[in-house]
């Protein structure tokens, strides 16, 4: 059940490997959030091999951010009637330029973000987690070999696909993505803390999966 105070339009931040995508999936399933996951949309475009996929493939492989103009194109296609749905943005906005994009979408499409959640983990923890991460190539569900293992080894609980390690979860790319996060995404959080502190929340992502989820529900004001 969702209380009256539950946010309609939510943004989740966190280092790569903070566990925010698993949290987003869990919240989506339990409270009916539609997930807007730019990383998953981009990987899907690469899998389809379409025009957008061809332009973003190298950025994803390097662990670099995709240019803001392409993120704009992606959201123009995928963000339909956001004012009607309970939305959760996972992985957007990631740069100060994308903060402006989000402002523009909010005005144009008539919705407003009412909560920003930062899932805080140390760089060391997040690197350790990324190396154990596995994803489903079919539905995008994420697992972790130790923290959130699938029921059957290397097999997606949802659709039975064989799980894969992401190409950008190699040690070299993982370190680079941490640097990009600190340089380009951390300023986004600082921006919202400065302009909208009343809707910013933070969660200690260093706890067990269940404890992080419980704390997230508490800061969102949702009852389970």
**Residues with catalytic function:** 20, 94, 133, 166, 177
Torsion of CA 137, 140, 144, 149, to 10 degrees: -80
Question: In the complex with ligand AMP, which residue's Cβ is closer, 1 or 51?
Answer: 51
According to DSSP, the residues that pair with 87 across neighbouring strands are 9, 34
Cβ at position 185, least distance to ligand AMP in Å: 9
Interface residues with ligand AMP (CB under 6 A)?
A: 16, 38-39, 42, 59-60, 63-66, 71, 91-92, 94, 98, 168, 177
Cβ at position 192, least distance to ligand AMP in Å: 15
Question: In the complex with ligand AMP, which residue's Cβ is closer, 129 or 177?
Answer: 177
Q: Where are the beta strands (DSSP E) in the chain?
A: 9-14, 34-37, 87-90, 115-120, 133-135, 142-144, 200-204
Question: In the complex with ligand AMP, which residue's Cβ is closer, 22 or 216?
Answer: 22
Question: In the complex with ligand AMP, which residue's Cβ is closer, 56 or 200?
Answer: 56
Cβ at position 98, least distance to ligand AMP in Å: 6
Cβ at position 15, least distance to ligand AMP in Å: 10
171 within 8 A of 131, measured Cβ to Cβ: yes
Question: In the complex with ligand AMP, which residue's Cβ is closer, 96 or 222?
Answer: 96
Query: Hey, what long-range contacts does 168-175 have (CB within 8 A, 24 or more apart)?
Result: 168/60, 168/61, 168/62, 168/63, 169/130, 169/131, 169/133, 171/131, 173/61, 173/62, 173/63, 174/16, 174/17, 174/63, 174/127, 174/130, 174/131, 175/127
198 within 8 A of 115, measured Cβ to Cβ: no
Give φ, ψ of 208 to 5 degrees: -65, 160
141 within 8 A of 118, measured Cβ to Cβ: no
Cβ at position 140, least distance to ligand AMP in Å: 9
């Amino acid at each position: 059940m969702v209380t009256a105070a539950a946010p309609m339009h939510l943004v989740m931040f966190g280092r790569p490997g903070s566990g925010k995508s698993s949290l987003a999936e869990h919240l989506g399933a339990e409270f009916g959030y539609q997930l807007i996951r730019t990383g998953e949309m981009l990987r899907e475009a690469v899998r389809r091999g379409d025009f957008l996929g061809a332009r973003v493939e190298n950025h994803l492989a390097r662990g670099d951010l995709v240019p803001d103009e392409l993120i704009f194109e992606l959201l123009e296609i995928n963000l339909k009637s956001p004012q009607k749905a309970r939305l959760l943005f996972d992985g957007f906005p990631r740069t100060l330029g994308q903060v402006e994009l989000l402002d523009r979408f909010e005005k144009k499409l008539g919705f407003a973000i009412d909560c920003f959640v930062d899932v805080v983990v140390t760089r060391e923890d997040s690197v350790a987690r990324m190396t154990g991460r596995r994803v489903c190539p079919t539905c995008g569900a994420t697992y972790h070999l130790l923290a959130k293992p699938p029921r059957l080894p290397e097999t997606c609980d949802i659709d039975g696909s064989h799980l894969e390690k992401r190409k950008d979860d190699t040690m070299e790319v993982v370190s680079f993505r941490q640097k990009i996060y600190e340089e380009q995404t951390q300023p986004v959080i600082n921006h919202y803390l400065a302009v909208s502190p009343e809707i910013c929340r933070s969660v200690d992502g260093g706890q067990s999966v269940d404890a992080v989820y419980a704390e997230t529900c508490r800061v969102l004001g949702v009852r389970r």
